[in-house]
Amino acid sequence: MGVGEAEAQSDDVPLDDVEQRLILIVRKTLDVPCTLDDNFFALGGGSLDALDVLARIREEFGVRVRLREFFRAGTMRELRNLIGDVG
């Protein structure tokens, strides 16, 4: 499956509010487009970018995700699952 196909599949399913906000945080941090199926580090993110995203997640959602969990999350979708259900 090519990159364009993964993006097309991701775009077929509407994103929930948390997913939309998470994607926006990552896009602002890395200044690149991304989908839930993208890997943060494959998009060019580094350790300092990860800390920035984690700080924004904590501010935006009131959820603390550990750096170790962030590194283990293979995709934005897995990171979204770590955030859980928030208001």
* pLDDT for 4 beyond 80: no
User: What would the pLDDT profile of 24-59 be if each residue is shown by its tens digit?
Assistant: 999 999 999 999 999 999 999 999 999 999 999 999
Residue 68 confidence class, pLDDT cut points 50, 70, 90: very high
The whole-chain average pLDDT of the chain stands at 87
Provide the whole-model pTM.
0.81
Is the four-CA dihedral 8, 87, 67, 25 of positive or negative sign?
positive
Whole-number pLDDT of residue 11: 56
User: What is the Cα–Cα distance from 75 to 36, expressed in whole angstroms?
Assistant: 6
pLDDT higher than 70, residue 5: no
